[in-house]
């Protein structure tokens, strides 16, 4: 994490960092990055959340753990955003409890960037925060995903689709079809181009900017994509080492394989985001290297500079329909549900 912060600071010296964790260990790591000392403040936390700890257990220790203190720093205004590579479920639970959801949003969603064959990445949500979603949840996810996509793709009207078992209007559940109908009716009032459904095998084609689903389907689709990428990489590795001729072929094709490796490297797309909260909370891969952490920091800073939360609020206000606004029972359900699994300087809590 500290090495990633150092790389991020080299790229953009405006950012200031609040490093939350064991003070002695952080200070030792900072000894190898002297240039960071003037850009960092250490907040000591003697306790940590383990990778297998249940969210219901983790939130009881929010005031003493590094993760909880980092999220509370955002709540208290001591940091503009929080970035963590820790337990995803615990981070979601703490962030939801401390920051609450935005007005007009029933439940936050986990969104991430996926590589595509097009010129820009794909924003996909929800990826596991909500295993069951109703029509309104999906519509709200689409609004949030489109606002996020406009920042990362610079596309004025992101192409938004709902993940389904077919592209025909008659396919899928009633929830999906109802959400599609509402989005078609509202797309004229929003900066998005909605045109129905997309199947999982088309997600990385480059023909769509935002893919929306419930967390159950989205998580399965994401894991399948990641597994397929590893499969292809391993298959190429085995093929190129199978014979002397194959090894010679590898040398000839190395520029192409290096490009493939770069495109599929999760560190180059690191930084999932909890959309719909009153604050920015970004989740890094637990296995991310320094480059991955630096990229996640860059995503975080960009979201702050581009005022993502304010953009989402403005889009929700433009809809002006009770169909898209949370009711009391939805708020209670979201609060009790626990997840599955400008030139000015900004401070990021880690």
Tell me what the mean pLDDT of segment 327-343 comes to: 41
In this structure, what are the phi and psi dihedrals at residue 134, rounded to the nearest 5 degrees? -100, 180
| pLDDT band at residue 204 under the 50/70/90 scheme | confident
Residue keyed to tokens 């950012």: 15
**The pLDDT value given to residue 211:** 96
Domain residue spans of the chain = 2-349
Q: Which pLDDT score, from 0 to 100, does residue 115 have?
A: 84
Where residue 104 falls (left for φ over 0; alpha for ψ -120 to 50; beta otherwise) is left
If DSSP states are collapsed to H, E and C, what string results for 9-74? HHHCCCCEEEEEECHHHHHHHHCCCHHHHHHEEEEECCECCCCCCCHHHHHHHCCCEHHHHHHHHH
Q: Which of these, 85, 10, 9, lies nearest to 40 by C-alpha position?
A: 9
Contacts of 9 (CB under 8 A, 6+ apart): 15, 17, 35, 36, 39
Minimum mean pLDDT among 24-28, 302-306, 336-340: which range?
A: 336-340
Average pLDDT over residues 32-52: 90
Q: How far is CA 226 from the centre of its chain?
A: 15
pLDDT digits (tens, 9 = 90+) for 252-285: 665 655 555 655 666 677 778 999 999 999 998 8
Average pLDDT over residues 235-255: 68
Q: How far apart are CA 121 and CA 114, in angstroms?
A: 5
Element (H, E) at 141: helix 135-153
227 — pLDDT class (breaks 50, 70, 90): confident
Q: What is the mean pLDDT of residues 62-70?
A: 92
CATH topology of domain 2-349: Isopropylmalate Dehydrogenase (3.40.718)
pLDDT of 258 reads 57
What was the pLDDT predicted at 340? Answer: 41
């Amino acid at each position: 994490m500290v090495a990633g912060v150092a790389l991020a600071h080299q790229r953009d010296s405006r950012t200031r960092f609040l490093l939350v964790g064991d003070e002695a260990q952080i200070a030792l790591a900072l000894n190898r990055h002297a240039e960071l000392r003037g850009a960092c403040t250490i907040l000591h936390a003697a306790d940590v959340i383990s990778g297998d700890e249940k969210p219901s257990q983790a939130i009881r220790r929010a005031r003493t753990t590094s993760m909880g203190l980092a999220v509370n720093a955002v709540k208290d205004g001591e940091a503009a955003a929080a970035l963590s590579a820790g337990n995803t479920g615990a981070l979601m639970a703490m962030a939801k409890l401390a920051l609450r959801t935005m007005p007009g949003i029933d439940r936050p969603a986990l969104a991430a960037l996926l590589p595509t064959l097009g010129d820009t990445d794909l924003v996909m949500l929800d990826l596991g925060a909500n295993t069951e979603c109703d029509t309104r949840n999906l519509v709200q996810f689409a609004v949030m995903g489109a606002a996020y996509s406009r920042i990362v793709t610079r596309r004025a009207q992101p192409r938004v689709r709902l993940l389904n078992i077919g592209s025909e209007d008659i396919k899928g559940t009633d929830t999906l079809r109802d959400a599609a109908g509402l989005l078609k009716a509202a797309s004229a009032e929003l900066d998005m181009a909605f045109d129905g459904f997309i199947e999982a095998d088309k997600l990385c084609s480059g023909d769509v900017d935002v893919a929306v689903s419930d967390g159950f389907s989205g998580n399965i689709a994401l894991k399948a994509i990641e597994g397929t990428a590893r499969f292809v990489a391993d298959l190429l590795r085995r093929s190129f080492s199978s014979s002397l001729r194959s090894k010679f072929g590898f040398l000839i094709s190395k520029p192409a394989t290096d490009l493939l490796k770069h495109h599929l490297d999760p560190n180059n797309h690191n930084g999932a985001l909890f959309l719909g909260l009153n604050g920015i909370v970004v989740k890094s891969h637990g296995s991310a290297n320094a480059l991955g952490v630096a990229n996640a920091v860059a995503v975080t800073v960009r979201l702050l500079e581009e005022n993502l939360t304010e953009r989402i609020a403005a889009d929700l206000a433009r809809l002006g329909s009770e169909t898209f606004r949370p009711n009391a029972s939805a708020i209670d359900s979201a609060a009790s549900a626990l997840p599955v699994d400008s030139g000015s300087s900004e401070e990021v809590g880690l």
